Structure 1
Amino acid sequence: MRKSLRAAAVAAACAVAGAGLYGAGAATAHQSTANSTHEPYNIGLLVKDIDAYYGTALDDDGVYQASAHSRYARDLSRLDADAKRYIDKAARKAHHRGEKPAVVFDIDDTLLLSLDYEKRYHYTYNPSTWADYVNRADRPAVFGSPELVRYAESKGVEVFYNSGLSEAQRAAAVENLKKVGADVNLDPGHMFLKDKANPPAYLSDCATPAAWTCSTVEYKSGTRKHIEKDLGYEIVANFGDQFSDLEGGHADRTYKIPNPTYFVG
């Protein structure tokens, strides 16, 4: 479930306070949850901190954009540099062993930035407004993400996508990724989206056409297991902006992309 800013205020405050929420090369321990008996972080100050972290500003079209000179951009630059070094080394090792290396990317706020939606709707989630936003297919790229996708491909690493977007949003996701330059393996065999009406057999433990009970971790880790066990790839790196994108194994290394605007448990 996607939780609003108010439900995750303390957790998000930790995110903008420093780089402790994610590491260059591996996900760190979980962020704190908002169940303390102490007074929570002031939400007005939290929004200001988030704006400062992203360098949020309206562009000429009235769209909230992150600044290329922000702390957010600098954090991403360091993470991407580490990831490229690691992918290069891991790909060479995997090819030497006769393995098929792969990387897995989440989409929302890992590849496509949703800052304008979060700002415009005051960090709350509504499925109708969110669907309209996604279907416009005009989100900007998370800084450096298209380059990272193409870099992995250039090293002979298979690129997969593992997203919480629905099957109905596939066309918009593909169009948007093409617009930002992440035009790599955007076919259904590489882009895994939620299909609650016709869930795949590899998720049968928690999903049937009659009922979908998969948690985010079960859905995402189950998909990675399918990529490794059924498709025969070795996932050398898994990228996501939520810890639930990364938990559950089936990846040699995880990369936590910074995102203090919402929390998916």
Structure 2
Amino acid sequence: MHKSLRLAAIAAACAVAGGALYGAGAATAHQSTANSTHEPYNIGLLVQDIDKYYGTTADSNGVYQASPTSQYAKDLARIDADAKRYIDRAAHRAHRRGEKPAVVFDIDDTLLLSLDYEKRYNYTYNGTTWADYVNKADRPGVFGSAELVRYAKAKGVEVFYNSGLSEAQRTAAVENLKKIGADVNLDSAHMFLKDKANPPAYLKDCATAAAWNCTTVQYKGGTRKHIEKDLGYEIIANFGDQYSDLDGGHADRTYKLPNPTYFVS
């Protein structure tokens, strides 16, 4: 998940307490940075607000789950409804023009929810514990995510995945996506993961076998450019829980999903 900043999106998390919605649209309406001259929001209250937003509860196995009646679930439902209406119209237009429409999904906290990891490790990141968590392949789906993937497919839209997960985590990612019902185009031609040992040629400006220097935006934007320019698709929509999932162009519309638990620059 390469979380570079944890609990750094203070302004966004404060907005959660007020019931603010995370909406669809351009990824340029960025939340405030962590650079501030005033006292930051109290971290204990912040965690409480996050729990309230997700409706966080531990199930019978002690796994932290989001509530289907939470504000988080309601915000996702609104975004998904808008996205379905848009995909329906955009796919129809693209097919009429003889184009090949596609959608691109991030995976972590766009399709697979990592709330249990965040709670269990107090919103801190460790590469070893994160890898163990991912490799269990038992994360719940983000509400509505699998349905949206299947909806796009049903409309004749090609589904791609563009994730910060590593190539070594491919098997677990595929298994987990199958479990939640997002069993669509899970082959290597459609699921793009970070391969720092053998980066693709289309990322040559920032990555070689000797050194990976791609920012998240360069990696994800470069992958979308490859899908459009090299593979010949028109990306009608791009979905992600981070602005860095969405910046970099090569998508007609972007959808920002809510995630107040971490920030990836």
**Is the Cα–Cα contact under 8 Å of residues 94 and 100 in structure 1 kept in the other structure?**
yes
Kindly report the root-mean-square deviation, in angstroms, between the aligned alpha carbons of the 2 structures.
1.2
Q: For this pair of structures, how many residues does the alignment match?
A: 264
Within 5 Å, give how 1:35-50 maps onto structure 2: 35-50=35-50
Q: What CA distance in whole angstroms lies between the structure 2 residues aligned with 1:35 and 1:121?
A: 25
1:33 Cα deviation from its structure 2 partner: 1.1
Aligned amino acid, residue 64 of structure 2? Y
Structure 2 residue 20 is the aligned partner of structure 1 residue 19: yes
Aligned amino acid, residue 86 of structure 2? Y
Residue 9 of structure 1 corresponds to which residue in structure 2? 10
SS at match of 2:228: helix
Aligned amino acid, residue 190 of structure 2? H
Q: What CA distance in whole angstroms lies between the structure 1 residues aligned with 2:7 and 2:145?
A: 28
Aligned amino acid, residue 14 of structure 1? A
Q: What CA distance in whole angstroms lies between the structure 1 residues aligned with 2:126 and 2:143?
A: 26
Q: What CA distance in whole angstroms lies between the structure 2 residues aligned with 1:99 and 1:200?
A: 25
1:14 Cα deviation from its structure 2 partner: 3.4
Within 5 Å, give how 1:29-178 maps onto structure 2: 29-178=29-178
**Is the Cα–Cα contact under 8 Å of residues 25 and 82 in structure 1 kept in the other structure?**
no
Structure 2 residue 236 is the aligned partner of structure 1 residue 229: no
1:6 Cα deviation from its structure 2 partner: 4.2
1:13 Cα deviation from its structure 2 partner: 2.5
Aligned amino acid, residue 157 of structure 1? V
> 1:220-242: CA deviations, max 9, x gaps?
00000000000000000000000
**Is the Cα–Cα contact under 8 Å of residues 57 and 64 in structure 2 kept in the other structure?**
yes
SS at match of 2:146: helix
**Is the Cα–Cα contact under 8 Å of residues 7 and 261 in structure 2 kept in the other structure?**
no
**Is the Cα–Cα contact under 8 Å of residues 228 and 250 in structure 1 kept in the other structure?**
yes
**Is the Cα–Cα contact under 8 Å of residues 246 and 254 in structure 1 kept in the other structure?**
yes
Gaps of 5+ in 1: none
Q: What CA distance in whole angstroms lies between the structure 1 residues aligned with 2:187 and 2:212?
A: 24
Within 5 Å, give how 1:198-209 maps onto structure 2: 198-209=198-209
SS at match of 1:238: strand
Q: Percent identity?
A: 80
**TM-score, scaled to structure 1:** 0.97
Q: What CA distance in whole angstroms lies between the structure 2 residues aligned with 1:234 and 1:60?
A: 44
Q: What CA distance in whole angstroms lies between the structure 1 residues aligned with 2:129 and 2:224?
A: 29
Gaps of 5+ in 2: none
SS at match of 2:159: strand
**Is the Cα–Cα contact under 8 Å of residues 12 and 260 in structure 1 kept in the other structure?**
yes
Q: What CA distance in whole angstroms lies between the structure 2 residues aligned with 1:148 and 1:208?
A: 35
> 1:4-37: CA deviations, max 9, x gaps?
43444344323554435x3234435110111111
**TM-score, scaled to structure 2:** 0.97
> 1:124-148: CA deviations, max 9, x gaps?
1111000000000000000000000
SS at match of 2:148: helix
> 1:105-135: CA deviations, max 9, x gaps?
0000000000000000000111100000000
